[in-house]
A = this chain, B = another copy of it.
Amino acid sequence: MLNIALAQINPIVGDLSGNVSLISQSINRAVKAKADLIVFPELSVCGYPPEDLLHKKHFIDANIKALSTLAKKTHDITAIVGFVDADSKGNIYNAVAIISDGKIMDVYYKHELPNYGVFDEKRYFTSGTKRGFVTIKGIKCGINICEDIWVDNSVYFQETLAKAKVLINLSSSPYEINKINSRQQLLIKRALETKTHVVYVNAVGGQDELVFDGGSMVIDPKGKMIARANQFQEQLLIVNLAATDERNISPILDSNAEVYEALVCGTRDYVRKNGFSKVAIGLSGGIDSALVAAIAVDALGSSNVVGISMPSQFNSKATKSDAALLAKNLGIEFKEIPIKGIYAAYLKTLHKYFASTTPNAAEENIQARIRGNLLMAFSNKFGWLVLTTGNKSEMAVGYCTLYGDMSGGFAVIKDLFKTQVYALARWRNNRDNAQAIPKSIILRAPSAELRPNQTDEQSLGSYEDLDSVLASYVENHADMSGLAATKSARLYAAKMINMVDRNEYKRRQAPPGIKVSLRAFGRDWRLPLTNKYKMEG
């Protein structure tokens, strides 16, 4: 039976020579391990998703050239590699090349082009119509790409399968909570329907707001899993389709660990792939910045994380000392920079204009923006990337300051509701029993500390209530009947939803962050700014 190498690699978008070099290294290792076939993720040569790079003809040409360099070097194995192909009419295709004996033997073009959620494939690609096959050692393998295998009752798909003994799928499938379970269920169903071995190879690593979670796998014709690669790690997994070695099956992480590792992976790759080594985080003494600091330490090492506390007269002694203790626990560099002097200078400058007014969000936001300015000054001075610490609940209702706490290059926990932030903080503390995040941070009522005695709950209600409304409204586009049962719940939901709608302009200018949910505030959330729609109810 076939010996197949699943090359779960981490390409970088646009890094054609780097990606080809990664691919070559895997091929060499697979040849040494006597694999018959090696399979790479979707669009490995150019990285996924290349977005509007696909509008540049020189980019398409360079990716084809890179593929042909790779093909020339490939011997003693068959490699199936994702790239972008072009025809003479200027159409381009999400393609795979079947390479052996130093040549490209055949190509296959993706048929089903996702154009929903974060995906825009119909913006770029023409749909292929040719079936994909390769025969190795007399065994016919059907080939398809990502979405192709997800569409039920596709005549196209059925025809391919009827003729094959092995079905190979190349994917670059972005992470969402528990998505690996849906993938497994689908692949098992396909294996049983078609009585084939199903070989699924996914990419791994972060690319802007997406994290590819790996978890490549092989299912046998009876629907039994015979191999599964790690989540969030590069791996070359070599599987003999006849063998059933339990050691080839990596365990699946539990939900908290899975989300946490997705955030670590996404942060590490965003920082490194963009040429940064060090990050700065504004430490408020609250739970959000504490979790972000812990994730950053796990992603980059404690020596690459700088915590900066910027207290004002409204910050309590307790939050100041908690920020310092957190930094100490995590072993990161810590600076405390009081903003009182700068804030006083703003008030003095504005006195003439603001003297006759009542203090409002203007004075509060000045403080947040002073902090943003200081963090960016460190970024500009020393080349550190600023990580922002806002969560999805805040981003949804706009409980955050544009150009203030929203200033920074990457928003690590932008797709975690506040209740999820607490759960992950507790999980992180218990993981190694180090309790790095001080208990008092976890127990204290959340506050922006921009005026005396402020708490989040005054503006937002309890986070349990808020997150329940947001999960339905943001992630499922629910209507009022799906959001609230009682009159008071409806009043509350209507108030929160109105805040979500009114604050689209903040989200439009927010830094990118890591998608972990069904619907994140990124490429899969495209709401108009100018929008007078009000839901009834």
- A-to-B contact residues, CB < 8 Å: 12-16, 18, 49-53, 55-59, 62, 115-116, 120, 122-123, 206-208, 269-270, 273-274, 335, 337-339, 341-342, 344-346, 348-350, 353-354, 357, 360-363, 365-366, 369-370, 372-374, 376-378, 380-381, 402-403, 407, 409, 477, 479-480, 505, 508-512, 525-536
How far is B378's CA from A361's CA once the two chains are assembled, in angstroms?
A: 11
Q: CB distance A380 to B361 under 8 Å?
A: yes
Q: Which residues of B contact A15 (CB under 8 A)?
A: 532-533
Residue of B nearest to A205 (CB): B530
Give A361 Cβ to nearest chain B Cβ, in Å: 5
Residue of B nearest to A308 (CB): B353
Q: Out of B13, B62, B353, B381, name the residue touching A362 (CB < 8 Å).
A: B381
How far is B409's CA from A79's CA once the two chains are assembled, in angstroms?
A: 50
Q: Which 5 residue pairs of A and B lie closest in terms of their CB atoms, listed nearest first?
A: A14-B533, A15-B532, A362-B380, A345-B345, A362-B381
Give A282 Cβ to nearest chain B Cβ, in Å: 13
Q: CB distance A380 to B365 under 8 Å?
A: yes
Give A300 Cβ to nearest chain B Cβ, in Å: 16
How far is B348's CA from A515's CA once the two chains are assembled, in angstroms?
A: 39
Q: CB distance B529 to A208 under 8 Å?
A: yes
Q: CB distance A369 to B373 under 8 Å?
A: yes
How far is B62's CA from A479's CA once the two chains are assembled, in angstroms?
A: 11
Residue of B nearest to A274 (CB): B530
Residue of B nearest to A366 (CB): B377
Q: CB distance A52 to B403 under 8 Å?
A: no
Q: Out of B349, B365, B377, name the residue touching A376 (CB < 8 Å).
A: B365
Q: CB distance B342 to A357 under 8 Å?
A: no
In the complex, which of the residues A59, A270, A337, A353 has the most CB atoms of chain B within 10 Å of its own CB atom? A353
Q: Which residues of B contact A206 (CB under 8 A)?
A: 530
How far is B377's CA from A13's CA once the two chains are assembled, in angstroms?
A: 39
Q: CB distance B365 to A377 under 8 Å?
A: yes
How far is B360's CA from A527's CA once the two chains are assembled, in angstroms?
A: 38
Q: Which residues of B contact A335 (CB under 8 A)?
A: 353
A-B contact pairs, 16 of them (CB 8 A): A14-B528, A51-B526, A57-B477, A57-B479, A207-B528, A274-B530, A335-B353, A337-B350, A360-B381, A362-B377, A363-B377, A366-B373, A369-B403, A403-B407, A509-B511, A512-B529
How far is B349's CA from A52's CA once the two chains are assembled, in angstroms?
A: 43
Given pairs A56-B535, A341-B349, A366-B377, 20 additional interface contacts (CB within 8 A): A13-B528, A13-B531, A13-B533, A14-B531, A56-B477, A57-B477, A57-B479, A58-B480, A120-B123, A123-B526, A207-B530, A270-B530, A342-B342, A344-B345, A362-B381, A365-B377, A369-B369, A369-B376, A402-B407, A509-B509
Q: Which residues of B contact A407 (CB under 8 A)?
A: 402-403
Give A92 Cβ to nearest chain B Cβ, in Å: 13
Give A146 Cβ to nearest chain B Cβ, in Å: 17
Q: Which residues of B contact A378 (CB under 8 A)?
A: 353, 362
Q: Which residues of B contact A348 (CB under 8 A)?
A: 341
How far is B16's CA from A394's CA once the two chains are assembled, in angstroms?
A: 29
How far is B528's CA from A510's CA once the two chains are assembled, in angstroms?
A: 15
* A353-B378, A366-B373 known; A52-B14 Cβ under 8 A: no
Give A44 Cβ to nearest chain B Cβ, in Å: 14
In the complex, which of the residues A338, A374, A531 has the most CB atoms of chain B within 10 Å of its own CB atom? A531
Q: Which residues of B contact A409 (CB under 8 A)?
A: 505
Q: Which residues of B contact A18 (CB under 8 A)?
A: 532
Q: CB distance B526 to A52 under 8 Å?
A: yes
Give A469 Cβ to nearest chain B Cβ, in Å: 15
Q: Which residues of B contact A403 (CB under 8 A)?
A: 369, 372-373, 376, 403, 407
Q: Which residues of B contact A52 (CB under 8 A)?
A: 525-527
Give A252 Cβ to nearest chain B Cβ, in Å: 27
Q: Which residues of B contact A57 (CB under 8 A)?
A: 477, 479
Q: Which residues of B contact A346 (CB under 8 A)?
A: 342, 373-374, 377
Q: Which residues of B contact A207 (CB under 8 A)?
A: 528, 530
Q: CB distance A530 to B360 under 8 Å?
A: no
Residue of B nearest to A61 (CB): B479
Give A16 Cβ to nearest chain B Cβ, in Å: 7
How far is B509's CA from A510's CA once the two chains are assembled, in angstroms?
A: 6
Q: CB distance B337 to A349 under 8 Å?
A: yes
Residue of B nearest to A49 (CB): B528
Give A66 Cβ to nearest chain B Cβ, in Å: 11
Q: CB distance B477 to A530 under 8 Å?
A: no
Give A513 Cβ to nearest chain B Cβ, in Å: 12
Q: Which residues of B contact A508 (CB under 8 A)?
A: 511-512
Give A457 Cβ to nearest chain B Cβ, in Å: 22
Q: Which residues of B contact A402 (CB under 8 A)?
A: 376, 407
How far is B223's CA from A119's CA once the two chains are assembled, in angstroms?
A: 42
How far is B509's CA from A348's CA once the two chains are assembled, in angstroms?
A: 30
Q: CB distance B527 to A51 under 8 Å?
A: yes
Q: Which residues of B contact A49 (CB under 8 A)?
A: 528
How far is B360's CA from A64's CA once the two chains are assembled, in angstroms?
A: 41
